[in-house]
Amino acid sequence: MDEFGLIERYFQGLSSGAPGTLLGIGDDCALLQPPPGEVLAVSTDSLVAGRHFPPDTSAADIGWKTLAVGLSDLAAMGATPRWFTLALTLEAVDPDWLDAFARGLGEIAQRFGIGLVGGDTTRGPLNLNATVIGSLPADAAVRRSGARVGDAICVSGTLGDAALALAQMQAGLAPLPELRRRLDRPEPRVELGLAMRSMAHAAIDLSDGLAGDLRHVLAASGVGATIEVQRLPASVALLRGATQPLQRMDYQLRGGDDYELCLCLPGDRLQALQAVCGLPLTRIGTVTAEPGLHWVDAAGATLSIPEHAYRHFE
Amino acid sequence: MDEFGLIERYFQGLSSGAPGTLLGIGDDCALLQPPPGEVLAVSTDSLVAGRHFPPDTSAADIGWKTLAVGLSDLAAMGATPRWFTLALTLEAVDPDWLDAFARGLGEIAQRFGIGLVGGDTTRGPLNLNATVIGSLPADAAVRRSGARVGDAICVSGTLGDAALALAQMQAGLAPLPELRRRLDRPEPRVELGLAMRSMAHAAIDLSDGLAGDLRHVLAASGVGATIEVQRLPASVALLRGATQPLQRMDYQLRGGDDYELCLCLPGDRLQALQAVCGLPLTRIGTVTAEPGLHWVDAAGATLSIPEHAYRHFE
């Protein structure tokens, strides 16, 4: 089984159907026709075992997550997913593993209507790279740099579930299925990304933990923020699994792998946005002129939160 | 040093200057404006030590090659290089290594006017992925599937140098610098790719050895070919280093890493194309209606060449 056979056998089914695909897998390059008048949004991510997923993660879940992280980046810009390339580095050719991987990848690709247009396979330590290409009208893109003083800061869904699942596994415990699912099958907020385009001033996806990711928005926008930590949205499973408030807050602020969106937008648009996207949105704070990130408790007293966020090289 | 700092420090200089880059590195996605009326050509490749380059390869040469392989794919379609993303998986943060890697990468990026627009860094076994995006008028793309009966088959440059260098190294010998350079600093034939657009019916870049790569063109085009093996172009260094004719032919046909282009075009266009691209082009055979790949010697007698080409999973 050579690399050409591999790609054809497992992934050919994922390579058709995306509009504008003039030529898919099987030549030196794919040929793609972007929608007229739109610009491209592009992002690349590599996943490594033990760093981006626990070593015992199923092949189907790895397939899902390989594409989920890039789709989450597209969501954060407000882009429509169009195409992706896949570069697989595998220890060996294991048909069962590849079959399951392609199934998980196919599920998420089909769900978001994104077509596989380029592949590369090589032998080596497991490494999974997806480069995603989306498109959107140039003036619709939501950047990190557009936050304005007075904007409401909100997040979608709940925070900290994936971090709790990981912590429990590292402690030798089996997480609840709904927690483990947040870690293994993150839901890129593509629909929210499209809905927010006309309302949000700035956005980022939460892959490395709110505390670190929000700082990128503030730095790019030249503003600060006050965050009311008691407003951080938590799932029932998190509330039950992390009963110690400081520990829970740590999962929510620094855990990573949430793949929710954090948005800055006028507070009076929040309700309309929530109605459109059908996803819980929680206001957690406000953009301020004073630089820095200020955490306050329910009484408005300042809390000290270490700067440290999840970092890939620590 | 976190991943954001890494990207900024070593690679920020490579991220500006490419036309149509509305937003480069530093947000969730890059925003790219393709030239009006053109379509995209996209390819992805991952490089692994010991498989795509010898373990002792310098960081600067690895940087060069990381981008060279994708540029060679763009050349084979006739596309103009525009942008690329880079996903680095590194064992550790070694400033000297990163500095040299970025320098080699920067040399080739600058030479071909391609801009870095997305980056990802993670810790793990060394793995280097580049996804390249080029553009071209839709009807200008040269595919593998367009070869016509009677077309001349030609290759650029010379074949087998990189394979000889690798074989010598594997035998504990030090290859001549000009041979080692072919392995470490392949020259993507981008200018030839642009020049051939109006002349060639089919093209492929020679990364896995002529014997295997040409078969892809023939299969996609539904044709066969006769190749005169004594016409395979050889460098002086190859003629001196591989004096045994059968061994030399093996390097030329199955060695891989040539990164020359193999073209199918009307024979009477060959001279004009060579004049435009300023690169030696050698006619090595003819496209035939009879399927299969037929190798003949100088006297026209059929030679038996094993089907085996370089395969990443063998």
ipTM of the complex, rounded to two decimals: 0.94
Question: For position A309, what pLDDT does the model report?
Answer: 44
Q: Quote the minimal CA–CA distance from B246 to chain A in Å.
A: 25
Q: Taking CA atoms, what residue in A is nearest to B140? A: A31
- Total Cβ atoms within 10 A of residue A304: 5
Question: For position A313, what pLDDT does the model report?
Answer: 41
Question: For position B168, what pLDDT does the model report?
Answer: 95
Question: For position A306, what pLDDT does the model report?
Answer: 65
- A7 pLDDT tier (thresholds 50, 70, 90): low
Q: What angle do CA B301, B282, B231 make, to 5 degrees?
A: 25
Question: Is B76's pLDDT higher than 90?
Answer: yes
For residue B31, which of A262, A43, A30 has the smallest C-alpha distance? A43
- DSSP assignments along A119-175, one per residue: EEEEESS-EEEEEEEEEEEGGG---GGG--TT-EEEEES-SSHHHHHHHHHHTT---
- Inter-chain CB proximity A33 and B138 less than 8 Å: yes
Question: For position A16, what pLDDT does the model report?
Answer: 67
Question: For position A311, what pLDDT does the model report?
Answer: 42
Q: What is the pLDDT of residues B170-228, one digit of tens each?
A: 999 999 999 999 999 999 999 999 999 999 999 999 999 999 999 999 999 999 999 99
Nearest to B122 among A83, A143, A312 (CB): A312
Q: Taking CA atoms, what residue in B is nearest to A205? A: B28
Rounded to whole angstroms, the Cα distance separating A269 from A200 reads 9
Per-residue exposure over A226-257, b if at least 16 CB sit within 10 Å of its own CB, e if not: bbbbeebbbbebbeebbeeeeebbbbbbbbbb
Rounded to whole angstroms, the Cα distance separating B138 from B258 reads 28
Q: Judge: domain A3-140, CATH 3.40.640.10.
A: no
- DSSP assignments along chain B, one per residue: --HHHHHHHHHGGGSS--TTEEE-BTBSSEEE-PPTTEEEEEEEEEE-BTTTB-TT--HHHHHHHHHHHHHHHHHHHTPEEEEEEEEEEESS--HHHHHHHHHHHHHHHHHHT-EEEEEEEEESS-EEEEEEEEEEEGGG---GGG--TT-EEEEES-SSHHHHHHHHHHTT----HHHHHHHHS----HHHHHHHTTT-SEEEEESS-HHHHHHHHHHHHT-EEEEEGGGS---HHHHHH--SHHHHHHHHHH-----EEEEEE-GGGHHHHHHHH-S-EEEEEEEESS-EEEEE-TTS-EE---S----TT-
3.40.440.10, 3.30.70.1140, 3.90.650.10, 1.10.10.10: which CATH number matches A144-303? 3.90.650.10
Mean pLDDT of the residues in chain A: 92
Q: What is the pLDDT of residues A166-182, one digit of tens each?
A: 999 999 999 999 999 99
- Inter-chain CB proximity B138 and A203 less than 8 Å: no
- Inter-chain CB proximity A45 and B124 less than 8 Å: no
Start-to-end Cα distance in chain B: 38
Question: Is A116's pLDDT higher than 70?
Answer: yes
Question: For position A191, what pLDDT does the model report?
Answer: 97
Q: What is the pLDDT of residues A120-145, one digit of tens each?
A: 988 899 999 999 999 999 999 999 99
Question: For position A33, what pLDDT does the model report?
Answer: 96
Nearest to B1 among A77, A93, A313 (CB): A313
Rounded to whole angstroms, the Cα distance separating A80 from A72 reads 11
- Inter-chain CB proximity A42 and B85 less than 8 Å: yes
Residues of chain B with CATH 3.90.650.10: 144-303
> Which of chain A's residues have a Cβ under 8 Å away from the Cβ of B26?
144, 220
Compare B200 and B9 and report the one with higher pLDDT: B200
- Inter-chain CB proximity B30 and A23 less than 8 Å: no
Nearest to A89 among B46, B93, B138 (CB): B46
Q: Taking CA atoms, what residue in B is nearest to A133? A: B29
> Which of chain B's residues have a Cβ under 8 Å away from the Cβ of A25?
none
Question: Is B312's pLDDT higher than 60?
Answer: no
- Inter-chain CB proximity A121 and B311 less than 8 Å: no
Rounded to whole angstroms, the Cα distance separating B86 from B11 reads 10
Question: For position A278, what pLDDT does the model report?
Answer: 87
- B82 pLDDT tier (thresholds 50, 70, 90): very high
Give me the percent of chain B exceeding a pLDDT of 90.
80
Nearest to A22 among B1, B27, B39 (CB): B39
Question: For position B7, what pLDDT does the model report?
Answer: 67
Q: Quote the minimal CA–CA distance from B199 to chain A in Å.
A: 18
Nearest to B118 among A2, A44, A123 (CB): A44
Q: Quote the minimal CA–CA distance from B32 to chain A in Å.
A: 5
- Inter-chain CB proximity B313 and A3 less than 8 Å: yes
> Which of chain B's residues have a Cβ under 8 Å away from the Cβ of A205?
28
Q: What angle do CA B190, B196, B198 make, to 5 degrees?
A: 135
Can you give the pTM of this predicted structure? 0.95
Which of B9, B39, B44 to mutate to probe the A interface, most A CBs <10 Å?
B44
Rounded to whole angstroms, the Cα distance separating B201 from B144 reads 8
Residues of chain B with CATH 3.30.1330.10: 3-140
List Cβ neighbours of B195 (8 Å cut-off, separation of 6 or more): B273, B276, B277
> Which of chain A's residues have a Cβ under 8 Å away from the Cβ of B47?
122
Q: Taking CA atoms, what residue in A is nearest to B205? A: A28
Question: Is A314's pLDDT higher than 50?
Answer: no
Q: Quote the minimal CA–CA distance from A55 to chain B in Å.
A: 13
Cα atoms in the 13 Å half-sphere on the side-chain side of B5: 8
Rounded to whole angstroms, the Cα distance separating B85 from A43 reads 7
In total, the C-beta contacts within 8 angstroms joining chain A to chain B are 233
Question: Is B313's pLDDT higher than 60?
Answer: no
Question: For position B93, what pLDDT does the model report?
Answer: 86
Question: Is B291's pLDDT higher than 70?
Answer: yes
Q: What is the pLDDT of residues A291-300, one digit of tens each?
A: 999 999 888 8
- Let me know how long chain B is: 314
Compare B6 and B156 and report the one with higher pLDDT: B156
Mean pLDDT of A241-248: 92
Q: How far is CA A162 from CA A229, A279, B38, in A?
A: 18, 18, 42
- Inter-chain CB proximity A28 and B131 less than 8 Å: no
> Which of chain A's residues have a Cβ under 8 Å away from the Cβ of B4?
216
Q: Quote the minimal CA–CA distance from A9 to chain B in Å.
A: 15
